[in-house]
Structure 1
Amino acid sequence: MKKITIWHTNDVHSQFEDFSAIVRYIREHINFEKDFLLDAGDFCDQKSVMINGTHGVGGIELLKSAGYDAMAIGNNEFFAGMEYLEEMTNQNFPLLSANLFRLNKEPISGVLPFITLKRNGIRVLIIGISPYWGESPESTAFTDMCGMKLLEPTPLVQKILEQEKGNYDISILLSHGGIKKDREIAETVNGLDCIIGGHSHTEMDEAEHINGTWIHQSGCWAKYLGKLTLEVDDDYHVVSASGENIVVEKEKDPQIESVMAQQTEIAIAELSKVLYVLPQDLEFSIEHECMAMNVLADMMWKTYPSDLALINHGILSKGIAKEVTKLNLLEVSPSPLNPTTLVWSGKQIKDAIFVSQKEEYIHMTPNRWA
């Protein structure tokens, strides 16, 4: 009997202070000669100054510093577009996705569908996938805008398992597809040993077993460090598995803190460059009509053909300074929300405006809908 230990994270979403504590725990407990360390995507969230200002490269540097073996490409890794993604894939670190391509279905430079690693005498195939939302125009609109195409991952995973047969002993799917898709793949695909999941932020106290495939996921925001342990016989069959999500002490890792400081300095220098100068500061108020919101609404109306443009005050947190920088804009509005075109009746518009004047909505707390 041999034991394979897979340490894993997913959906860190740039919560790097908590990630730093996880790395400290990893360094104290992992055996880098035998164990595997994987991330299932959405590590780099554009809300972070460091991520935004380094085009995601700062996040890859953190993973490299921590000793990770690979990461699946999540939606947050490609939301900023092809240029940012290719900068990340050019950092000598395995970014995996078997179902993410250019719009013409050509490969994206540096994106790997899979890698094979050998540890403790066992060859392990690691396949990556990104989230798949379907083929309808509504489902593909955002990836089309990013210049990318997502394909249904299930047949691609099966194809890789079959074409690489004889080159590996154990197979892992590093998935940013979400728990529903992971279960579907486990039911459908033959010969897959385990799935390390992400995207759905699912906290799994134990590993789930479906059709011979073990599934585990560790929530989100670096709240947990996932650990999946496989027991493998001499014929490389997984005979049992156990999964757990570990809460670590909040003691930070000095090396990660140093990398964060270096990359944040690079990011701030880049984001602080003045883009343009306005005639005046754009003042902001959460309670009444203000210059900042009027300018944004006017610009939406001029940019996207429509009868009128509406924007909610919650999109901003403060006014826009006269000297506009990317750093200022990121601090003012870190939200990734996108403009949307709707067909509304006059009554619906009137109702929306009246509702927006109610005190309960003006002062709504962040957990209102929790």
Structure 2
Amino acid sequence: MRGRIVRYSKATALAGLALTATLAISSEVDAEQNEVLKILHTNDIHATFDNFGKAAGYIDQVREEYDNVLYLDAGDYASGNPVVDLNYGIPMIEAFNEANLDVLTIGNHEFDYGQDHLINNMETSTATWLGANVDTGDTGVDNPEPYTMIDLDGVSVAILGITQAPPATAPANVEGMTFESDYAAVAAAYEEELTSEADVIIALTHIGYNEDRQLAEDVDYFDVIIGGHSHTTLNSPQIVNGTPIVQTGSNLNNLGELTLAIENNEVTEVDGTLVPVADLDTMNEDVQAVIDHYNSEMDEVLGEVIGYSENGLSRDGRFQQDAPLGNFWTDAMREWAEADVAFTNNGGIRDSIPSGDVTLNEIYTIEPFANEIMTIEMTGEAIGNVLEYSYSRDGRNQIDLQVSGMEYEILTGMTGQLSDVNMTIDGSPLEDEETYTVAVADYIGTGGSGYEFEGEVLQETVAS
């Protein structure tokens, strides 16, 4: 049930071996050594908690076998399952509490429910919430701790939390808050403090795998970086500048398991593996009771059949071109808003619709963020600027906007860099100075993911 295990030894790193290359496969850290620290970790669960009872049962099993065990989550427990999301995250928090989650780094989607619900979730949670680069200001939301120190039989473990800055959520959700985007500077600010007080230092991040790699290049005092946000499945620790980096993927497909060997209060070896959650036969009955309760409570509402699809509507291919579900979704937006054009971002289309009966559950699963439709009067030039940004933002060079009411074609050079955008309506080019009524999901319409829909806002929310 496990992936391969790879051993990382600080001793061999200091000996100058090229640990950025493939590591040698070896057995697990010997449990008979002086100290063994077990860390179970998750990230980007996105409210997919139906199998969480299994994962919690496995965590219980490890806790029974070993004295020093921590369970950490690298953020984004929220947004992805209407059973959780229509209850503003509380079902996941209650499941975490029953599983005795120790530490959580706040992810960008933890902000999705709004500040009042974030306050409630933080107050309800028994875990320590981290975010060294977060300042909640005067919003009333408690500022996450920058780090936490945990003593395990005389071994001091420091866990520093860093989250995405700015977080990808609707701007209104983080109004009044500030986020430091220089992750290396944030980590460096705590280096002297943590290295003088802790035997083991862990970065629990929600910034993505590429940023974790850069962090490891810039800062070398972490014993391990446990990451999230990019949904990267790392079957074994990846070593960058002597620092192991781990991540489990997403949607609770895997549970991460780390074994740290500690001799003379220093980490000497790190083993890491992924445990496929669906294959587990363990169970925490208290966690499962929480899951069953909320699933049962919401079944009558979410099970309502509201339509039928003969062939299904897939979101596949959306990063290269228009997708069937993207067409359907934006067509509905445009018709509802009586607009000329409609846009929605690919990140707001979270699942496909299978053939057969279509239920409310499937609609909520596709769009779990409670976005509203807004309308903006925009010039053809402004629409073109949005489309150029959508393709090239953050250097992604991929389609990000599904559209109705017009067609657009991205032209690129040989390296995939944006060259131009062709835009037409019914075969005729959009005019730069002509104005068009554009319906858009309010997440991107109000600046989410860096979008700027320049124009006059006609309706902040299209009324029913």
TM category (shorter chain) comes to 0.7 to 0.9
Task: Determine if the alignment matches structure 1 residue 256 to structure 2 residue 290.
Answer: no
Identity %: 25
Structure 1 regions of 5+ residues with no counterpart? 134-138, 273-281, 302-306, 319-327, 353-370
Give matches, 1:138-177, under 5 Å. 142-143=170-171, 146-147=174-175, 148-152=177-181, 153-177=183-207
CA contact (8 A) 2:108 2:169 kept: no
Q: Distance in 2 between matches of 1:167 and 1:107?
A: 31
Task: Determine if the alignment matches structure 1 residue 297 to structure 2 residue 326.
Answer: no
Cα offset for 1:8?
Answer: 0.9
Partner residue of 2:75?
41
Cα offset for 1:146?
Answer: 3.7
Structure 2 regions of 5+ residues with no counterpart? 1-33, 312-328, 377-381, 385-405, 408-422, 429-464
Q: Distance in 2 between matches of 1:33 and 1:171?
A: 19
Q: Distance in 2 between matches of 1:286 and 1:124?
A: 55
Cα offset for 1:107?
Answer: 8.2
Task: Determine if the alignment matches structure 1 residue 53 to structure 2 residue 120.
Answer: no
Q: Which amino acid aligns with 1:334?
A: T
Cα-to-partner distance string for 1:268-301 (whole Å, 9 max, x where unaligned): 79x89xxxxxxxxx988899xxxx9887435546
Cα-to-partner distance string for 1:174-228 (whole Å, 9 max, x where unaligned): 1111111111111112422211111112222221222332211112222221111
Partner residue of 1:75?
108
Partner residue of 2:130?
96
Cα offset for 1:121?
Answer: 1.8
Counterpart secondary structure, 2:221: coil
Task: Determine if the alignment matches structure 1 residue 63 to structure 2 residue 96.
Answer: yes
CA distance 1:251–1:141, change in 2 (3 Å):
closer
Partner residue of 1:349?
425
Cα offset for 1:309?
Answer: 3.8
Partner residue of 2:62?
29
Q: TM-score, length-normalised on structure 1?
A: 0.72
Partner residue of 1:325?
none
CA contact (8 A) 1:192 1:212 kept: no
CA distance 1:196–1:264, change in 2 (3 Å):
same
Cα offset for 1:161?
Answer: 3.0
Cα-to-partner distance string for 1:41-68 (whole Å, 9 max, x where unaligned): 12222x3233223211211111111122
CA contact (8 A) 1:158 1:190 kept: no
Partner residue of 2:340?
308
Partner residue of 1:12?
45
Cα offset for 1:247?
Answer: 2.3
Counterpart secondary structure, 1:227: strand
CA RMSD of aligned residues (A): 3.7
Counterpart secondary structure, 1:23: helix
Structure with the bigger percentage of strand: 2
Q: Distance in 1 between matches of 2:38 and 2:364?
A: 41
Q: Distance in 2 between matches of 1:8 and 1:164?
A: 21
Task: Give the one of 194, 211, 219 matched to 1:189.
Answer: 219
CA contact (8 A) 2:106 2:129 kept: yes
CA contact (8 A) 1:49 1:268 kept: no
Q: Which amino acid aligns with 1:216?
A: V
Cα-to-partner distance string for 1:290-334 (whole Å, 9 max, x where unaligned): xx9887435546xxxxx634368x97969xxxxxxxxx9665343
CA contact (8 A) 1:284 1:293 kept: no
Q: Which amino acid aligns with 2:291?
A: M
Cα-to-partner distance string for 1:220-253 (whole Å, 9 max, x where unaligned): 222221111122221x332221111122434362
Q: Distance in 1 between matches of 2:38 and 2:282?
A: 23
Number of aligned pairs? 317
Q: Distance in 1 between matches of 2:247 and 2:150?
A: 21
Q: Distance in 1 between matches of 2:84 and 2:67?
A: 30
Counterpart secondary structure, 1:26: helix
Cα-to-partner distance string for 1:91-146 (whole Å, 9 max, x where unaligned): 132222222333x587831522221111132111111122235xxxxx87844554
CA contact (8 A) 2:52 2:288 kept: no
Cα offset for 1:265?
Answer: 5.8
Q: Distance in 1 between matches of 2:307 and 2:258?
A: 51
